[in-house]
Amino acid sequence: MSTDFLNVARLESGRSQFQVEAFSPGILLNDCFQLILSQAEEKGLFCNIEIPVDLPDIQGDCDKIKQAVINLLSNAIKYTPKGGKILLKAESYPEVIHIIVKDTGIGIPEKYRNRLFSKFFRVPGSERHAQGTGLGLSIIKRIIEGHGGEIDFKSETDIGTTFTIHLPISA
């Protein structure tokens, strides 16, 4: 997507300012889920969402965080073969929330894990599963770190991958 290039350029130049406001992460996550659901189901994936009812409001740029979550979900769809499962989940802690995107897809081989968030990096062979620029994860990382948060993942080849965003409640 050419918008990936624009987004990464804006984020790098500092021209992309965050529009900080209070928002409900539960509503945001439900919106993201609804946006990707038909695409996932068309591919023959089973999708679930688990959001606690008592999630606190977050201070941050709602649109940017939405972009990050949709990107993770779209990766989960791209790199999970038919019949697989995708779970979008949130957990609440005293000062952070966790946003978790879990899939039962192809996984990420151990030797590539330290390069995963690098600009333009794609695991060799990814093009067999889906097209991409290799920019999505670098954009997501910038957005989350720009909010004082962190992103990490666990993965097992042919078992699946789980990305976790740690987002402070007040940016």
Binding of ligand ADP at residue 86 (CB under 6 A)?
A: no
- Residue among 20 and 70 whose Cβ is closer to Mg ion: 70
- Minimum Å distance from CB 87 to Mg ion? 18
- Residue among 26 and 84 whose Cβ is closer to Mg ion: 84
Binding of Mg ion at residue 138 (CB under 5 A)?
A: no
- Minimum Å distance from CB 15 to ligand ADP? 21
Is the alpha carbon torsion for 35, 2, 122, 83 positive or negative?
Answer: positive
114 DSSP 8-state letter: G
CB under 5 to 8 A by kind: which of Mg ion, ligand ADP, none does 76 bind? ligand ADP
- Contact flags string 98-137 toward ligand ADP, x per CB under 6 A: -----x-xxxx-------x----xxx--x-----xxxxxx
- Please state, in angstroms and rounded to a whole number, the distance separating the CA atoms of residues 89 and 82: 21
* Of positions 7, 75, 155, 161, contacts Mg ion by CB under 5 A: 75
- Please state, in angstroms and rounded to a whole number, the distance separating the CA atoms of residues 19 and 95: 21
* Of positions 25, 84, 136, 149, contacts Mg ion by CB under 5 A: 136
- Residue among 136 and 149 whose Cβ is closer to ligand ADP: 136
- Minimum Å distance from CB 56 to ligand ADP? 27
Residue pair 143/70 in contact (Cβ under 8 Å)? The answer is no
Q: Which residues bind ligand ADP (CB under 6 A)?
A: 75-76, 79, 103, 105-108, 116, 121-123, 126, 132-137, 161
